[in-house]
Amino acid sequence: MAMDTAVQAPITLSPSAAARVATIASKQGKAPVLRLSVEGGGCSGFQYKFGLAETVDDADVVVETDGVQLAVDDISIDLVRGCIVDYVESLGGAAFRVENPQATAGCGCGSSFAI
C-alpha cells in the first residue's frame, strides 16, 4: 500500500495576502515578511497580531507564497496550526483574515478567537 508522503504546511499564506504584504513591504522599503503572533486578550480570549518582520528567528515556523514569507513564533504556531492567512476586500473594508479550523468561537471583529 502506497503512503502519501506529501507534508501539509503548518500554516498557509494565500496568494492575495502575499500580494498585499509585498505591496506594503515595498512601500516601506522592508523585506516581504509578515509576522503573525497570538496574544492573550480580545473579546474571545486570544487575538491575532500582524506586522512586518525585521528578522526571522531560528525557532520561527516560516512558509512562503510567491516570494513572501509568513513567520510564526514557536509558541503561537500551536494556536494557528492549519490556518489560512488571507487578505480580503469587501464593502466593510480590507483586512488580513485568519481562517482558523481550531477556533471554537470568534467575535464580530474577526481578530479574536477562542480554542
Mind listing the pLDDT tens digit for each residue in 37-92?
988 876 667 888 999 998 899 999 999 999 999 999 999 999 899 999 999 988 87
Superfamily of structural domain 12-114: HesB-like domain (2.60.300.12)
Would you place residue 114 in the very low, low, confident or very high pLDDT band (cuts 50, 70, 90)? very low
> CB pairs under 8 A, 24+ apart, for 96-104?
96/17, 96/20, 96/34, 96/50, 98/36, 98/48
What are the residue boundaries of the structural domains of the chain, listed by start?
Answer: 12-114
Its sign, for the CA torsion 105, 41, 74, 108, is positive
pLDDT of residue 1: 46
pLDDT of residue 35: 96
